[in-house]
A and B are shown apart, each in its own frame.
Chain A
């Protein structure tokens, strides 16, 4: 009893220690000086209430968990429903439904919503790509954003220095990113687990710092601006076309509508995401996809069967990187501006969070997680100060209730027909 009382008191104090400096103190500018003030008594009352609640929660921890356990038999979702949801065939139909919705709604949605949806699609692409590396091949890659940056900068640089268009640069950007993945993968892939994670983290940062410091080539911290937007078979979506080009609204003889540009970008992103979805879906069912999973399960057995682990890992790394490259070049085209600050470690963390949150290896899970991860911060702009706090809370809750991810997928097993 004294032990629970002690830890309950400690928890209550902890609430104060965490909440008071963050919520209870306000910095106000008085003249040219900053002054620390206490906030309103209501805030303090709320903190006090929270600490009391925390105290009671910890004090009666045993009783609460006992009553909860007795009331709730079995898990939140019945086993049969959970099994149905994780079946590959169910998920296939859900994905098809999502795709249909994704095609129809931009014509009815607002401009801002379509813009956010485009961003979500970029993250879907990145999540699907990283899913190959982390979810399937089991290689923890914390520097994935490096390849994203390579893709973005290869389009930006090619367009800036050589005036190449988006559609030529898209495959090139994928190729460059894949090359980077290949080159980085070679020395790195003999490492395993945590060591691999740390080295890839380092590589991601190296790429960002390179971009930042090669000022003559990349413009340093200012980045590269005025990057051309994609065109539809040479038709631009700007109000006025550049020399020798035609605009979409002139060609079709309709009034200029700035929304059409946003919708077009959205559709391009959707198409790219669909290609990624299709390719990765096929890869799963190809010998190389099987080899990735086998390697994740038992590297020694793979070697004993004559599979070259280095080649298989490298292929996962390279392919994953190439999808990041595609996403990057689209990102550069949409934004019209790339700076090294778009490719910080937090991006890698968000992409990894999407993969883990969605359920390793599950494509539908990745799509849903990308929607959640991008939409939540956008919808809760008022609470933007607490964004990181909410991310943390979400992660902790996920770890408790669904450690396997939102919607994990049962592997699409190859079946022998009887």
Chain B
């Protein structure tokens, strides 16, 4: 088996007296889709926030390609290739879909002040490449015809897809999706499933996702981690999780 891209051990996060995450472990291999599930308030998003540097974990280690990244500021972790979407879509609403994608490429662009001032050939080329890459991804997520619409005016499902495309613009190592199917209708959920499939097959994307839609989770995940009240409950393939009495109890309550 290949090396783990992401290795999380014994992660814990404490807010004052509240231990929101306690001893959670995760390991993600390249090209895997790993799902993080659990009842509401289990601490899934807190785990995400720790991984992406929005919170500083109180304990535990996070290794990305063997390098510790815990406690780094968010933008540095993002630059290392851990990029996330948000539970409530966070697009730049007054900017067009295209511009949303261009901003995500900021780091790959020619940001030299003088080059931009005088529109040097190098600057034009860099802008053109960025446009082409953005176009390519707009095609991928079927949003090409909406390229010049402001992001805030897109339908919810389209906004979700745009947010995923925006993440892909940064050429991530791991794509982290926080409830990507929330608020989508069954058809859109099917589209999303297909999109994640394409990302994995064609773009070698590694995906870590939080999701409540069990049908989706069971059908696309290679591996599932269940947490309940901040502590790890189970860990295994979809089949193992489905039949695990502990998990059923956590979701449905005591029989």
Contact yes or no, B148 A303, CB < 8 A: no
Contact pattern, A 396-418, Cβ under 8 Å of B = 1, otherwise 0: 00000000000000010111100
Inter-chain contacts of B167 with A (CB < 8 A): 305
Of B73, B76, B83, B119, which is within 8 A of A305 by CB?
A: B83
A288: B residues at CB distance < 8 A: 111, 113, 116
Knowing A290-B102, A306-B79 are in contact, say whether A413-B96 is a contact too (CB < 8 A).
yes
Decide: A287 near B78, CB < 8 A? Known: A300-B90, A301-B86, A304-B84. no
Task: Please name all residues of chain B whose beta carbon is closer than 8 Å to the beta carbon of A308 when the two chains form the complex.
Answer: 75
Interface contact A304-B74, CB-CB below 8 Å: yes
Q: Is the interface of A mostly helix, strand, loop or mixed?
A: helix
Q: Is B159 on the interface with A (CB-CB < 8 A)?
A: no
Task: Given A291-B103, A300-B90, A304-B83, answer yes or no on A415-B111 (Cβ-Cβ < 8 Å).
Answer: no
CB contacts under 8 Å to A, within B93-134, are 93-96, 98-99, 102-104, 106-107, 109-111, 113, 116-117, 119, 131, 134
Chain B residues lying within 8 Å of A293, measured Cβ to Cβ, are: 92, 94-95
Please give me the residue from chain B that is nearest to A312 by CB atom: B106
Of A18-26, A278-286, A333-341, the one with at least 4 CB within 8 A of chain B: A278-286
CB pair B131 A307 closer than 8 Å: no
B147 at the interface (CB under 8 A from A): yes
Interface size on B, residues (CB 8 A): 43
CB within 8 Å of B: which A256-307 residues? 279, 282-283, 285-288, 290-291, 293-294, 297-298, 300-307
CB distance from B160 to the nearest CB of A (A): 14
The reply to whether the CB of A309 lies closer than 8 angstroms to some CB of chain B is yes
Binary interface encoding of chain B residues 143-174 relative to chain A, with 1 for a CB under 8 A from any of its CBs, else 0: 01001101000000000000000110010000
Q: Are the C-beta atoms of A287 and B109 separated by less than 8 Å?
A: yes
Residues of B within 8 A of A414 (CB): 96, 98-99, 102, 131
Contact A297 B83 (CB under 8 A): no
Q: In the complex, which of the residues A301, A303, A416 contacts B91, with contact meaning CB atoms closer than 8 Å?
A: A301
**Pairwise interchain contact B148-A282, C-beta atoms closer than 8 A:** no
Residue of A nearest to B123 (CB): A286
CB <8 Å contact, B75 and A307 = yes
B54 within 8 A of A: yes
| Distance A414 CA – B127 CA, assembled complex (angstroms) | 11
Given contacts A303-B74, A305-B104, A306-B79, whether A416 and B90 have CB atoms under 8 Å apart is no
**Does residue B61 face the partner (Cβ distance < 8 Å to A)?**
no
B148-A306 in contact (CB<8A):
no
Residue of B nearest to A278 (CB): B117
Task: Please report the C-alpha to C-alpha distance between residue A282 and residue B124 in the assembled complex, in whole angstroms.
Answer: 13
> Of A297, A303, A416, which one neighbours B147 at CB under 8 angstroms?
A416
With A305-B170, A416-B98 as contacts: A283 and B116 at CB distance below 8 Å: yes
Asked if B78 and A304 sit within 8 Å, CB to CB, the answer is yes
Would you call B222 an interface residue if the criterion is a C-beta within 8 Å of the partner chain's C-beta atoms?
no
Point out the residue from B54, B83, B116 that lies within 8 Å of A287, measured CB to CB: B116
CA distance A307 to B105 in the complex (A): 9
- Taking CB atoms, residues of chain A closer than 8 Å to B91 are 298, 301
**Which residue from chain B places its CB closest to the CB of A297 in the assembled complex?**
B92
A291 to B106, CA, bound (A): 8
- Interface residue from A286, A305, A411 paired with B78 (Cβ < 8 Å): A305
Q: Which residue of A lies closest to B130 (CB)?
A: A287
Q: With A306-B75, A307-B106 in contact, is A290–B116 under 8 Å at CB? A: no
Distance (whole angstroms) from the CB of A287 to the closest CB of chain B: 5
Find chain A residues with CB under 8 A from B150 CB: 413
How far apart are A262's CB and chain B's nearest CB, in angstroms? Answer: 31
Q: How far is the CA of A294 from the CA of B103 in the complex (A)?
A: 7
Q: Using Cβ atoms and an 8 Å threshold, which residues of chain A touch B116? A: 282-283, 285-288
CB distance from B147 to the nearest CB of A (A): 4
Cβ-defined contact, A300 with B106, below 8 A: no
B92→A416 contact, CB < 8 A? no
Interface residue ranges, B against A (CB under 8 Å): 52, 54, 73-76, 78-79, 83-84, 86, 90-96, 98-99, 102-104, 106-107, 109-111, 113, 116-117, 119, 131, 134-135, 138, 144, 147-148, 150, 166-167, 170
22 A-B pairs with CB atoms under 8 Å apart are A282-B116, A282-B119, A283-B116, A283-B117, A286-B111, A288-B113, A290-B99, A290-B106, A293-B92, A294-B103, A298-B91, A300-B90, A301-B92, A304-B78, A305-B104, A307-B75, A309-B75, A411-B94, A414-B96, A415-B96, A415-B147, A416-B134
Pairs of residues from A and B, 8 with the lowest C-beta to C-beta distance, nearest first: A306-B78, A286-B116, A416-B147, A301-B90, A303-B74, A306-B79, A297-B92, A287-B109
